Amino acid sequence: MNILLLGSGGREAALAWKISSSPLCDKLYIAPGNGGTGSFGTNIDASPLDFEAIGRIIAEKAIDMVVVGNEDPLVAGIVDHFKALDAAKPLFVGPEKAGAMLEASKDHAKRFMARHGIPTAAYRTFTPETIDEGYAFLETLTPPYVLKADGLAAGKGVIIPETLAEAKATLAEMLGGKFGAASSHVVIEEFLKGIECSVFALTDGHGGYRLLPVAKDYKRIGEGDTGLNTGGMGAVSPVVFADAEFMKKVDERIVRPTVEGLLKDGTDYRGFIFFGLIKVGNEPMVIEYNVRMGDPETEAVMLRVASDLVELMAAAAKGDLGNLPLDIDPRAAATVMAVSGGYPESYPKGLEITGVPAPTETTVVFHAGTRLDGPALVTSGGRVLAVSSYGATPAEALAASYATLDAIRFDGMYFRRDIGQDLLALEK
């Protein structure tokens, strides 16, 4: 089949790598792709939000299946748009807008979880009209306080103030337009203390689903989880604390009720669901849903998907996963992200990158914020390269990624040297 993958990050590079390895994939196109995705398929310079341009690619390249990498086109209704058109319809991996609301509105997601009995932090939602009730609700909570912009805020919409005074000021700022329309509603919730992990399911909209390998990501810029939040500085899979007993609870209390809840609500969800989970004591709770794979988790998770992902995605998109297995490679995988100096604040672009090796049996360097400038590879974003490796253990996989990073250079390059160290400490 001819496949069109939408997106340009490290996640899409990892998906492109995996898709291109399938005997079912004839031609792979990536729109717009990045400086590395061209080695797995053909980049086409089009925005995933430009549905007309995407429609032309679908027609001209006889696309059989579209895989939507990031949430924006899903929230903008790309699946609904093409379903409604009177034209040849490719398969879509990704939910309709109604399903994408699980990520697009935190209030919607909370109401969904409450309706279907899925464990999550207690919460209430406030608007500018109910700000006084918001202040009163904050007074009933113990610090720290969790305030979330209801809508999409480029991953920056969650603020966790330490004091009641700061929390009240933050609520006023958010409702006052700190994140524009995204924070016209603010969800305030109970702070949960625990360790987080990312669980991914591929669902077929008819109750069938498969779990992908579990991963943990590292969001802060600084070692020891300090400093500003980023899009993600690394990922490790498997996750030592997400053992069989924990995953059974995750499946029974969270994944299955979510898939069945979507069915009950009449939402035809075919695609990936990302469960941002926290282990509180021994119990899993949902921090958030995303309607796509995680980045940089995908760069580690794809290494461990042993089955043909194209076959699985096509079956899910057709509405029936049937008995297809999703086999997991027993090896560990680890991703370390090399970022631009200054990221996640301002950083330079266009710096030449050297020392990126071709994929080996052990390591694949997935490009994220890169582009080709003639023959030269240059930086074009904050997160530049996702260096992903296999290992018999997470420690071995990490060592392989760090060894590869030693040879890679660009001015100002930075990476965290402590990815996975918390998990290694738990193993001891």
287 counts as binding ligand AMP under rule CB under 6 A: yes
Question: Pattern of binders to ligand AMP over 90-129, x per CB under 6 A?
Answer: -------------------------------x--------
Q: CB-wise, 54 or 188, nearer to ligand AMP?
A: 188
Chain centre distance of CA 244: 23
CA distance 123 to 89: 40
CA distance 35 to 5: 15
Asked if residues 368 and 383 have their Cβ atoms less than 8 Å apart, the reply is yes
Q: How far is the CB of 276 from ligand GLY (least distance, A)?
A: 7
Sign of CA dihedral 52, 53, 58, 62: positive
* Core vs surface per residue 125-145: b (16+ CB within 10 A) or e: bbeeebbeebeebbeebeeeb
Q: How far is the CB of 158 from ligand AMP (least distance, A)?
A: 4
Q: How many CB atoms lie within 10 A of CB 54?
A: 24
Q: How many CB atoms lie within 10 A of CB 191?
A: 12
Q: In what order do the strands lie in the sheet containing 270-280?
A: 209-211, 195-204, 270-280, 283-290
175 counts as binding ligand AMP under rule CB under 6 A: no
171 counts as binding ligand AMP under rule CB under 6 A: no
Partner touching 232 among ligand GLY, ligand AMP, none, CB below 5 to 8 Å by kind: ligand GLY
351 counts as binding ligand AMP under rule CB under 6 A: no
Q: Which of 104, 146, 199, 377 binds ligand AMP (CB under 6 A)?
A: 146
Q: How far is the CB of 380 from ligand GLY (least distance, A)?
A: 19
CA distance 209 to 269: 10
Asked if residues 166 and 160 have their Cβ atoms less than 8 Å apart, the reply is no
DSSP-assigned beta bridge partners for residue 216: 236
Q: Is the peptide bond before 375 cis (omega within 30 degrees of 0)?
A: no
Question: Pattern of binders to ligand GLY over 298-317, x per CB under 6 A?
Answer: --------------------
Q: How far is the CB of 290 from ligand GLY (least distance, A)?
A: 5
Partner touching 217 among ligand GLY, ligand AMP, none, CB below 5 to 8 Å by kind: ligand GLY
Q: Which of 43, 105, 237, 290 binds ligand GLY (CB under 6 A)?
A: 290
71 counts as binding ligand GLY under rule CB under 6 A: no
Q: How many CB atoms lie within 10 A of CB 419?
A: 26
Question: Pattern of binders to ligand GLY over 228-257, x per CB under 6 A?
Answer: ----x-------------------------
Q: How far is the CB of 146 from ligand AMP (least distance, A)?
A: 4
Q: How many CA atoms lie within 13 A of 135 on its CB side?
A: 10
Q: CB-wise, 271 or 294, nearer to ligand GLY?
A: 294
Partner touching 387 among ligand AMP, ligand GLY, none, CB below 5 to 8 Å by kind: none
149 counts as binding ligand AMP under rule CB under 6 A: no
Nearest CA to 292 among 58, 100, 121? Answer: 100
Q: CB-wise, 242 or 287, nearer to ligand AMP?
A: 287
CA distance 309 to 304: 11
Q: Is the peptide bond before 32 cis (omega within 30 degrees of 0)?
A: yes
294 counts as binding ligand GLY under rule CB under 6 A: yes
72 counts as binding ligand GLY under rule CB under 6 A: no
Question: Pattern of binders to ligand AMP over 182-221, x per CB under 6 A?
Answer: -------x-xx---x-------------------------
Q: How far is the CB of 139 from ligand AMP (least distance, A)?
A: 18
Give the binding-site size for ligand AMP (rule: CB under 6 A): 10
257's tokens: 């009720």
300 Cβ contact list (under 8 Å, min separation 6): 213, 215, 235, 236, 237, 333, 334, 335, 388
Q: How far is the CB of 278 from ligand AMP (least distance, A)?
A: 7
Residue ranges binding ligand GLY (CB under 6 A): 217, 232, 290, 294-295, 297
